[in-house]
Structure 1
Amino acid sequence: MGIVLTQRPGVTRWAPLVWRATSVLPGAGPADWKELRREGDVAEIHAGTLTLELHGAEAEAYAHNLAARTPCLYAVMREGSGRPQDLVLLTASPYEAQDYAESGEELVEKIPMPAAILEWVEDFVARHHVEEPFKKRRRDRKDIDVVEDGIGDARIRQIADVYRSPTSRRGKVA
């Protein structure tokens, strides 16, 4: 899948350019920052091609993605070494995208899922996703008002530390 990045001028002096992943090109060949279109200061660039892999263990995440208003693919990028952005990963799992977003080192961009890819992911989910029934946990029936006898040492009058052993009273006659 080809990843298309859009380059726009920044609005502050600290960010002269803003890069956003805006679309994917299913079945695209290899590319290395090939400019597709330019209109004024805005350019669309085919930054690279990544493989979109689906895994059976992630079927629940894909189903969650498909249930969203707009199913998306997630492009994970890092600040580049020699390039503005390095492409790291393309995924359909919002859970995996969230894991990358939490680190703060990667930039995660949502890209609307094309219809052909949407059908492919729906078919994958239909074959691999097994809905697990919700199991409500039950509380144990322990009585919390019960008075427990025999805990701690009765000779110690302090409530704060009932498990402390008593000090020896050497030299004192009782």
Structure 2
Amino acid sequence: MPIGVVMRRTPGVTRWAKWAWRAVAILPGAGPADWRELRREGDAVDYHATTLTLELYKAETEAYLHGITAREPSVYVIMRPVLGPHPFDMVLVTASPYEAQDYNDNGEDVVEKIPMPPGLLAWVGDFVERFHHEEEFVKRRRDRAKTDGRQDGIGDPRISTEGDVYASPALKRGRLT
């Protein structure tokens, strides 16, 4: 589904940042855009920055379910700061909080959480309902490896010098078995 990203530019609060930018809304089903001005209120300006495709995958339904059952169902816009005429390169829009967390962890990208409109919530919910299968919990069992094996110290038995602190104790006593 095509999703338009609305960015808001407001005056910066410090002398080092002239403008503050935030993703404030999404437009489900939006057409193409290239930083088109939507609204101006004083110094605040809203732009339809771009339109990205929201793709859903059957293997990620657990993440979508987690996202739509949260207190505030949201989509996430991943942006990368760039130098140029526009402050960000829009990378991705996703309904998966797990994928958003992965992008947030790299420290280079900016991840904005935007409330999901009711129509988009219904669309994602329908996808989850059709494709989500609860995985049965399977308790892991230990392997039957022998755990009572004898260890011959911390050293390498191939080292023959007695002055080496890491030499095997059996080797020091003259017994190598």
Query: Structure 1 length normalisation: TM-score?
Result: 0.81
Q: Which amino acid aligns with 2:91?
A: V
Q: Distance in 1 between matches of 2:159 and 2:33?
A: 78
Aligned equivalent of 2:92, options 61, 70, 89: 89
For residue 110 of structure 1, what is the aligned residue in structure 2?
Answer: 113
Q: Distance in 1 between matches of 2:19 and 2:107?
A: 20
For residue 128 of structure 1, what is the aligned residue in structure 2?
Answer: 131
Shift of 1:21: 0.7
Q: Which amino acid aligns with 2:38?
A: L
Task: Map 1:28-39 to 2 at 5 A.
Answer: 28-39=30-41
Q: Distance in 1 between matches of 2:124 and 2:41?
A: 34
For residue 76 of structure 1, what is the aligned residue in structure 2?
Answer: 78
Q: Distance in 2 between matches of 1:27 and 1:140?
A: 52
Q: Evaluate the alpha carbon distance shift between residue 42 and residue 143 of structure 1 in structure 2; reply closer, same or farther with a 3 A threshold.
A: same
Query: Structure 2 length normalisation: TM-score?
Result: 0.79
User: In percent, how many aligned pairs have the same letter?
Assistant: 56
Aligned equivalent of 1:45, options 44, 47, 55: 47
Deviation per CA, 1:41-73: give whole Å up to 9, x if none: 111111111111111111111011112111111
> Secondary structure, in 3 states, of the residue corresponding to 1:50?
strand
Q: Distance in 2 between matches of 1:33 and 1:166?
A: 70
Q: Evaluate the alpha carbon distance shift between residue 8 and residue 143 of structure 1 in structure 2; reply closer, same or farther with a 3 A threshold.
A: same
Q: Distance in 2 between matches of 1:128 and 1:53?
A: 14
Shift of 1:135: 2.3
Q: Which amino acid aligns with 1:102?
A: D
> Secondary structure, in 3 states, of the residue corresponding to 1:54?
coil
> Secondary structure, in 3 states, of the residue corresponding to 1:8?
strand
> Secondary structure, in 3 states, of the residue corresponding to 2:53?
coil
> Secondary structure, in 3 states, of the residue corresponding to 2:13?
strand
For residue 5 of structure 1, what is the aligned residue in structure 2?
Answer: 7
Equivalent residue pairs, number: 159
Higher-Rg structure is: 1
Deviation per CA, 1:76-129: give whole Å up to 9, x if none: 111133311111111101111111111122111011000000000000001111
Q: Distance in 2 between matches of 1:143 and 1:34?
A: 68
> Secondary structure, in 3 states, of the residue corresponding to 2:18?
strand
Q: Distance in 2 between matches of 1:82 and 1:42?
A: 18
Q: Distance in 1 between matches of 2:159 and 2:47?
A: 77
For residue 164 of structure 1, what is the aligned residue in structure 2?
Answer: 157
Aligned equivalent of 1:65, options 57, 67, 81: 67
Q: Distance in 2 between matches of 1:108 and 1:167?
A: 59
Q: Can you give the 5+ residue segments of structure 2 that lack an aligned partner in the other structure?
A: 162-177
